[in-house]
Amino acid sequence: MNKKTDLGLATHCIHAGDSLDERGGIFTPLYNHSTFGFPDTQSVLDVVEGRVEGSLYTRYGLNPTIRSVEKKLAAIEGGEAAWVFSSGMAAESATFLAHCKSGDHIICIGDVYGGTYDLLDVNLPNLGISTTFILGNEINKLSDSIKSNTRIVFFETPTNPNMEVLDIEGIAAVAKKYGALTVVDSTFATPVNQSPLALGADLVIHSTTKYLGGHGDLTGGVVIGPTELLTPIWTWRKNLGQMMAPEVAYLLARSLRTLVVRVNAHNVSAQILAERLVEHPRINKVNYPGLPDFIGHNIAKHQMKGFGGMISFVIDGNAQETADMVDRLKLFSIAPSLGGVESLVTQPITTTHYNLTPEERAKRGIVDSMVRISVGLEDVADLWADLEQALS
Ligand SMILES: *Cc1c(COP(=O)(O)O)cnc(C)c1O
């Protein structure tokens, strides 16, 4: 694989981690075995003691299908190594547990996925790990919020549902100065549009359930970065039993082969729809990093190669009128997920941000009439026609 590291992203997506197998298969097959056999005791010890990279037991991640997709993901994200997990939340929780102990502190910037917020706000405090939350427009408070026990600065970019763009390079520089790790959830951007490690982040997390899987048929997560920072995470994954199933790893590798063409197509369609939505008389506001007037556009232009497939917009109407508009859509399925070939729509107050108090929502600009769409790979003319009829 090393000889391939100077290749382009699409080439990595197709070839990294794969090699001809002994029967001539041109990519890694599915090894769904839970354990692997050895010819003699010395061979077992060679693997157990780490002298030989071999297969042993699937929950440990020592499975050829899992190791293959991990090498592909590491190459795609430009990291030294990658660990896959049974979900994005599993990847996040193992990362926090491995790098924080009782008495440690985390800073979470901007809006984050509801499960992440819950983990930081409810679960980790029970283990003595506290989190300070600062809004995305309060970056100037970052230095003052960092304490001597701050281990991790965590954020997503772009964020959900406002598509707020946070400056990875700037935040990572501050965190580094104080000896904290920068961990970025890059799920919305994908490795096609953004490379947090190259911008100074220490670890990158993806929910592979979204764009990396891309077809709404798998649940998984990954953390990518230097081996030194991944090693402590490995034992947490192993002992919490958070391993991705080999069948899922195989499906994920299949999906990653088309990642670049899929994400580039999402980018193109979303840009077209965002520009048309801005012009629509019933729309008050469109949040999309690719719009020149969008507040995060300049940072996005600097740190992103494409602006992604996620758009949110605010319609001129109340909560019920917004729900009615969502209900009139025919091609967009009402669902809280994102990143697949099928277009999805959600009204954040009914799903992803249902549990926030009205004050919390107001602070974040999440209004009743906000709609979030995940632009799929259908013909963009059909998607626009559907949005137009629903808005009229
Ligand atoms: C979906 C999502 C997660 C959680 O991933 P799961 O695979 O559902 O556990 C985390 N972060 C972001 C940004 C997400 O969209």
The whole-number average pLDDT for the span 51-73 is 96
Higher per-residue pLDDT: 369 or 354:
369
Would you state the pLDDT for residue 1? 41
Burial of 290-308, coded b for 16+ CB within 10 Å and e otherwise, reads bbeebbbbebbeebbbbbb
Q: Which of 210, 237, 262, 364 is catalytic?
A: 210
Categorize the per-residue pLDDT at 361 as very low, low, confident or very high, splitting at 50, 70 and 90: confident
Which residues have C-beta within 8 Å of that of residue 105, sequence separation ≥ 6? Answer: 129, 130, 131, 132, 147, 149, 150, 151
Would you state the pLDDT for residue 91? 98
As for how many domains the chain has, the answer is 1
Dist CA 346 CA 327 (whole Å): 10
113 tagged catalytic? yes
Would you state the pLDDT for residue 5? 57
Task: Please say if the pLDDT value at position 2 is more than 50.
Answer: no
pLDDT tens sequence across 114-149: 899 999 999 999 999 999 999 999 999 999 999 999
Give which of 218, 266, 259, 263 is closest to 84, Cα–Cα: 218
How far apart are the CA of 254 and the centre of ligand 1, in A? 20
Dist CA 117 CA 145 (whole Å): 18
Dist CA 192 CA 181 (whole Å): 23
Q: Is the CB of 262 under 6 A from ligand 1?
A: no
Task: Please say if the pLDDT value at position 77 is more than 80.
Answer: yes
Q: Which of 185, 202, 368, 386 is catalytic?
A: 185
Dist CA 298 CA 42 (whole Å): 58
- Of ligand 1's listed atoms, the one at least distance from the Cα of 188 is 13
Task: With respect to residue 353, please indicate whether it lies within any of the assigned structural domains.
Answer: yes
Dist CA 114 CA 111 (whole Å): 9
pLDDT tens sequence across 181-206: 999 999 999 999 999 999 999 999 99
Contact predicate 369/315, CB 8 Å: yes
How far apart are the CA of 281 and the centre of ligand 1, in A? 33
Lowest mean pLDDT among 73-77, 199-203, 363-367: 363-367
Would you state the pLDDT for residue 355? 79
Give the CATH number for residue 376: 3.90.1150.10
pLDDT tens sequence across 205-254: 999 999 999 999 999 999 999 999 999 999 999 999 999 999 999 999 99
Q: Is the CB of 294 under 6 A from ligand 1?
A: no
Q: Is the CB of 131 under 6 A from ligand 1?
A: no
| DSSP state at residue 284 | E
The whole-number average pLDDT for the span 163-185 is 98
Would you state the pLDDT for residue 385? 98
| DSSP state at residue 194 | B
Dist CA 23 CA 74 (whole Å): 26
Q: For residue 10, with 0-12 CB atoms within 10 Å meaning exposed, 13-18 middle and 19 or more buried, which class applies?
A: middle
Give which of 83, 63, 50 is closest to 232, Cα–Cα: 83
- pTM of the predicted model, to two decimals? 0.96
Task: With respect to residue 250, please indicate whether it lies within any of the assigned structural domains.
Answer: no
Dist CA 361 CA 367 (whole Å): 7
How far apart are the CA of 207 and the centre of ligand 1, in A? 5
59 tagged catalytic? yes
Mean pLDDT across the chain: 95
Task: Tell me which of 120, 157, 207, 351 to substitute to probe ligand 1's pocket, judged by most ligand atoms within 8 Å of the beta carbon.
Answer: 207
Task: With respect to residue 290, please indicate whether it lies within any of the assigned structural domains.
Answer: yes
Contact predicate 367/316, CB 8 Å: no
Residue with CA closest to ligand 1 atom 11: 113
Percent of the chain with pLDDT over 90: 90
Q: Is the CB of 88 under 6 A from ligand 1?
A: yes
Task: With respect to residue 320, please indicate whether it lies within any of the assigned structural domains.
Answer: yes
Categorize the per-residue pLDDT at 362 as very low, low, confident or very high, splitting at 50, 70 and 90: confident
| DSSP state at residue 242 | -
The torsion defined by the Cα of 285, 139, 356 and 304, in degrees rounded to 10, comes to 50
Percent of the chain with pLDDT over 70: 99
pLDDT tens sequence across 334-348: 998 999 999 999 999
Q: Is the CB of 190 under 6 A from ligand 1?
A: no
DSSP-based three-state secondary structure for 308: coil
Show the CA angle centred on residue 124, arms to residues 119 and 125, nearest 5°: 125
Contact predicate 383/375, CB 8 Å: yes
Paired tokens of 373: 């769409």
Task: With respect to residue 76, please indicate whether it lies within any of the assigned structural domains.
Answer: no
Taking the chain, what is the end-to-end CA distance rounded to the nearest angstrom?
54
Task: With respect to residue 322, please indicate whether it lies within any of the assigned structural domains.
Answer: yes
Show the CA angle centred on residue 60, arms to residues 31 and 98, nearest 5°: 140
Q: Is the CB of 187 under 6 A from ligand 1?
A: yes
How far apart are the CA of 272 and the centre of ligand 1, in A? 26
Task: With respect to residue 272, please indicate whether it lies within any of the assigned structural domains.
Answer: yes
Dist CA 380 CA 384 (whole Å): 6
Give which of 305, 343, 109, 161 is closest to 290, Cα–Cα: 305
Task: With respect to residue 113, please indicate whether it lies within any of the assigned structural domains.
Answer: no
Task: Please say if the pLDDT value at position 368 is more than 50.
Answer: yes
The whole-number average pLDDT for the span 26-41 is 96
Task: Please say if the pLDDT value at position 3 is more than 60.
Answer: no
- Of ligand 1's listed atoms, the one at least distance from the Cα of 208 is 7
Q: Is the CB of 111 under 6 A from ligand 1?
A: no
Categorize the per-residue pLDDT at 6 as very low, low, confident or very high, splitting at 50, 70 and 90: confident
Would you state the pLDDT for residue 80? 98
The whole-number average pLDDT for the span 155-174 is 97
Domain interval for residue 324: 259-391
Would you state the pLDDT for residue 175? 98
